[in-house]
Amino acid sequence: MKTLIDNKDYQGIDEALANDPSLANEGIPYDSVNTTKAHPLHRLCDGVFSGTYTDAEAVQMARIFLAHGANVNGNQLVEKQDSPLVAATSLYADEVAILYIENGAIINHPGCHGGTALHWAAYCGRDKVVKKLVQQGAKVNKLCIDFKSTPLFWAVHGLKNGGTTSSSDSVECVKILLQAGADKNIPNAGGTTVFDMLDDGDVELKELLKEV
């Protein structure tokens, strides 16, 4: 199945799943070296991140898996382990993430570090996904497990520490979160707030956080 996915063989994937529907939920190794298995809907996101195929191509393949009974939440939701949706938000697979949300993915599951899809989308500066998650009722002030910090904190931390590929998109994430009711004064486990991460060069963020 991994070969079919890597080759974007839509027809081959469809035929394989038609012949054996159980493959829609059977774990797939990352590669020949890292043989750790993950749900197919998760592995599709890995391929987007690695550049093996585009986000849009991953969506086409994900639709085929979903049509053949793939569980949009993976095989089992385990605290601090990524669901397919958390994987999508942390691996820059924006269109895939939105597809999973629209297909009923559980949006507040705590994945890696206990961060939800909203935490990871905010950290990575995926503003379209942040907007979609907020519209679907994601908890904007939910604390992650490991750092006891909010999605807003993750958004600023990602902007300041290289978690994002676009500073303007990260600023937009901050705007969306604030407009959705994010509390800018909630500190993390160490007592640090978003304001403590700002410096003299963060004029736009300072103004934004002050205004709302």
Secondary structure of the chain: what % helix, strand, coil (to 5)?
55, 0, 45
Query: How far is residue 145's CA from residue 201's CA, in Å, rounded to a whole number?
Result: 30
- 98-113 pLDDT per residue, tens: 999 999 999 999 999 9
CA geometry: angle at 40 spanning 36 and 43, to 5°?
60
Sketch out the chain's domains with CATH numbers: 1-106 (1.25.40.20), 117-212 (1.25.40.20)
CA-wise closest residue to 53 among 122, 105, 126, 4: 4
- 35-82 pLDDT per residue, tens: 999 999 999 999 999 999 999 999 999 999 999 999 999 999 999 999
Q: What pLDDT does 212 receive?
A: 56
